[in-house]
Amino acid sequence: MNITFRQLRLFLALAETGSVSAAARMLHVTQPTASIGLKEITDSVGAPLYEVVARKVYLTQLGHELAKTARAISDEWEAFEQQVHGIKGLTQGKLKVAVVSTAKYFIPRILGTFCAKYPQIDISLEVLNRDGVVKRLEENLDDLYIMSQPPLNIEIDDEIFMPNPLLLVASKNHTFAKKKNIDLALLKNEKFIFREKGSGTRMTTDAHFKKLKFKADVRLELGNNEAIKQAVIGGLGLAVLSKYSLADQTDKDDVAILKCKEFPIKSSWHIVSPKGKKLSPIATIFKKHLSEQAKQWR
């Protein structure tokens, strides 16, 4: 087979965008040029690598393997470029980070201090639910992943860098809002608003209640913290939320943190990467920056 590095990048762009036209735009070439290049790659391999159904590209099994190989080669090349820049006394390149949605309340601020220190680094930040982040982790699409519940079925390198206490909250008008030392048994008749099954907050909360043999009466399951906070403010029930999702003044004015002896639930933020993945120089610097910032916050 005779496939050039540029062709590998084209195929990787196709795999990441799911579109020939989008891949062409990513590499700054025309769509006909991209189509010809992809045909040459397929001809060189001698087997179908993708198919187009309703204008959407779907990779074959062999196509997924080629994309995986192309990504590994591209990552190695980017790491080499970063090492060259480092020798020249420069810090530039790209950092790709995927985080669960609750981390959006603090990660952008940490990225802000990082970019202020290293202005020539380009940042790609993906904010998804836990399932989305785990999927990107499985496919090794990013440098680092931030979550509170790392997967158990994937071999990973995992480092805890900051506490993530989960708080019991209610509307400021709730009868428990000003009560001290609330016993968990008093909550058996309360309605709860939970994150969707599979989220890190939900997994930790379910495990905590199971350990205490407490069965919550779930009224609603919602897919994001903002919707849950509004439901709580509206008096629809109690909720368990990360401390970091209650950061702004509006939340503090409208939401009461209940003083229950079984709360807060202890949880942590984790920096995760595939087991044995060789981090790029920039990813290594950012990982250190995360830990330093976390110490300041604590």
pLDDT digits (tens, 9 = 90+) for 13-62: 888 888 888 888 888 889 888 888 888 888 888 888 888 887 788 899 98
Contacts of 273 (CB under 8 A, 6+ apart): 137, 143, 144, 145, 156, 157, 279, 283
**Length of the chain counted residue by residue:** 298
Give the count of alpha carbons within 13 A of 3, CB side only.
22
Q: Which amino acid is at 266?
A: K
Query: Does the 5-65 domain belong in CATH 1.10.10.10?
Result: yes
Contact indicator for 150, 271 with CB cutoff of 8 Å: no
Q: Is the pLDDT of residue 247 over 80?
A: no
Any idea which of 21-35, 85-99, 148-162 has the lowest mean pLDDT? 85-99
pLDDT of residue 132: 93
Sign (positive/negative) of CA torsion 5, 7, 8, 9? positive
Position 250 confidence tier, pLDDT thresholds 50, 70, 90 = low
Residue 211: the pLDDT is 93
pLDDT of 272 over the 90 cut: yes
Q: Which amino acid is at 222?
A: L
The C-alpha atoms of residue 92 and residue 42 are separated, in whole angstroms, by 34
Full-model pTM: 0.74
Amino acid symbol at 174: H
- For residue 91, is pLDDT > 70? no
CB 281 within 8 A of CB 86: yes
82 pLDDT band, cuts 50/70/90, is low
* Look-up of token digits 């959006």: 104
Confidence category of residue 4, pLDDT binned at 50, 70, 90: confident
138 sits in which H/E element: helix 130-138
CATH of domain 91-163+269-297: 3.40.190.10
Tokens 């976390």 label which residue?
294
Strand partners, 139: none
Q: Is 208 helix (H, G, I), strand (E, B) or coil?
A: helix
Whether the link from the prior residue into 165 is cis, omega within 30° of 0, is: no
According to the model, what pLDDT value does residue 88 have? 55
Per-residue pLDDT at 56:
82
What pLDDT, in 10s, does the model give residues 171-227? Answer: 998 989 888 888 888 898 899 999 999 899 999 999 999 999 999 999 999 988 999
H helices of 18-100, in order, are 20-26, 31-45, 61-87
Say yes or no: domain 166-266 is CATH 3.40.190.10.
yes
For the chain, residues classed under CATH 3.40.190.10 are 91-163+269-297, 166-266
- The number of helices, as runs of H, and strands, as runs of E, in the chain is 10, 12
Task: State how far the Cα of 252 lies from the Cα of 85, in Å rounded to an integer.
Answer: 45
Do residues 105 and 244 touch, judged by C-beta distance below 8 A? yes
Q: Which residue has the higher pLDDT, 78 or 63?
A: 63
Beta strand extents in the chain (DSSP E only): 50-53, 56-59, 93-100, 121-128, 144-147, 156-163, 166-171, 191-195, 217-222, 238-242, 255-257, 268-274
